[in-house]
Structure 1
């Protein structure tokens, strides 16, 4: 018997044993963004709840750089044994087009394990900006075009994607101003150095509540419980305009089905955890419904978002490499 045949047979024999004992040591969850940011916070809350179901510690590792692609590549190369996972947001789907030379195929390099959050974004402006409603804002942008300045946190950031979608929806170009993070954006918005932005509610809730910024709309199908009087973009005149910052957990391609099931079951259990719900609520997001925290729903979301964003990014001609 050839050595390769023997190795393959041994691998097949080891798979059931791995599934039976998994997990027998700590799991690493890679966050492809800096510690302290929204994705890092969501990862730590999710990991803490998944640990209860798995009976093993989940260690968070921040692998930062290239819009999240460095951390994603780290997981794509990892052993498919369930001990190295990735948590990422909508940026994983847009990176498939934003980066023309990715070291992995986004559609096939990972096994989606389940969604964990779908957070709204809010369209906001400096407090003294003229328009008072979303319709007035759209009319103002169409009349002034590139005189309007829009701040975002870099290519692939949620704020940049929202701005790109907005320009596509109203067929008007504005001047985009890239920043290195959300903190500087908010400082300059409050300081009236830029006109507007669109960002995750986790970052904008405080300034909206304190009336430091002017809020126009949320970008999801339903209104936020935090701001029940703030209309959705669709209600306010941008028909069909929708973008959420969804997060999901992934394993490398080739992870055994039995291990995938244990991990996906742990995600579903986490979505039912009252502790997780409370901690998510504190950062202005909510867990997805348990029936959406499945590999099937997650896989469909990933592929549909890759296909949705590809023509928008190509039309804008904005690439990260």
Structure 2
């Protein structure tokens, strides 16, 4: 090898070794400052509630403050894009949801790829949605809701936490399977959508049990059915949609933790280990269970497989429902 080529190769090897060593040291020292957890929805909604509980637990396990940063809009895409373009150093994380699997097929142009732009850390929670209506809606069960919707095509409205959310596509799947034509009204998060259902500005919503059930118990909302295949332990008196009049229907919602692609594996493993402890806390498990969610930890590899399966599953739902977002 010519001397000049050997010299260049040596410099390249030294540079690579320096970068690799620097990354290793950074991963070893991580976290040395506060961590930002981006929640792509407004404060007060179900995703925000999960995020703040998990952030507190991670703060205690990691010894650094985990700050929740709400960046809502565009069906969860604004927050996701922000994290996808952040430095892959473990200091900016995303509270990912079912929507980020749905958006892959629902939106024509995304500035991130759910399967490639992020490094998966773990699933956090999973659970059914519940159909809640304004208290005076003249439908006491799923069968009556279907009959009411068919009697007035295009008049019943369903609110959602935004285009592409599970609260949107679950209702679109219902429309497709029941042969109804309820009209979608998207909001910038679950909390404002639910407020309008309670106020009568929208007729119903497919919402998480975490944020809906307190209002159901107070009589401010009426619960018709849950979207899971089996009844929820958090409200065993509420039937499933399948048993209440629409056989074969099933949909669930989830939350998970993601980092930008390229985040050092050592950092991901530290986060994974900390999350395993947080999600195993009895108090946290009880808190989520009371609201219809199961706390579920996964390895990064298993969570990647989970995401891949979700993207595929919801692509089929988007196709069946005919839902699109420009």
Which category of TM-score, normalised to the shorter sequence, fits these structures?
0.7 to 0.9
- If the length of structure 1 is used for normalisation, what is the TM-score? 0.87
CA distance in 1, matches of 2:301, 2:240: 28
Query: Larger Rg: 1 or 2?
Result: 2
The yes-or-no answer on 1:311 pairing with 2:316 is yes
Partner of 1:70: 78
Query: SS where residue 112 of structure 1 aligns?
Result: strand
1:88-145 Cα offsets, whole Å, 9 max, x none, are: 2111111212222211222111111001111321112233333322233334434543
Match of 2:48 among 29, 40, 43: 40
2:37 maps to 29
1:206-242 alpha-carbon deviations (Å, 9 max, x no partner): 3321333332111123323332211122332333322
> Aligned to 1:157, which of 155, 158, 165?
165
Q: 2:238 is matched with which residue? A: 230
Structure 1 runs (4+) deviating above 6 angstroms are none
Q: How many residues align?
A: 318
Q: Which residue of 2 aligns with 1:301?
A: 306
Q: Displacement, 1:267?
A: 1.0
1:267 and 2:272 are equivalent in the alignment: no
Judged with a 3 Å threshold, the aligned counterparts in structure 2 of structure 1 residues 14 and 169 are, in CA distance, closer, same or farther, namely: same
Output aligned runs, 1:112-151, within 5 Å: 112-151=120-159
Q: Distance in 1 between matches of 2:265 and 2:195?
A: 47
2 CA distance for matches of 1:307 and 1:221? Answer: 19
Alignment of 1:1-321 (within 5 A): 1=8, 5-280=13-288, 284-289=291-296, 292-321=297-326
Distance 2:43 2:12 in 1: 42
**Are the counterparts in 2 of residues 165 and 312 from structure 1 also a CA contact under 8 Å?**
yes
Q: State the distance in 2 between where 1:190 and 1:27 align.
A: 36
> What does the per-residue CA deviation read over 1:263-291, in whole Å, with 9 as the maximum and x for residues that have no partner?
11111111112343354356x244424xx
Q: TM-score, normalised by structure 2?
A: 0.86
Check the 8 A contact 1:126/1:189 in 2, yes or no. yes
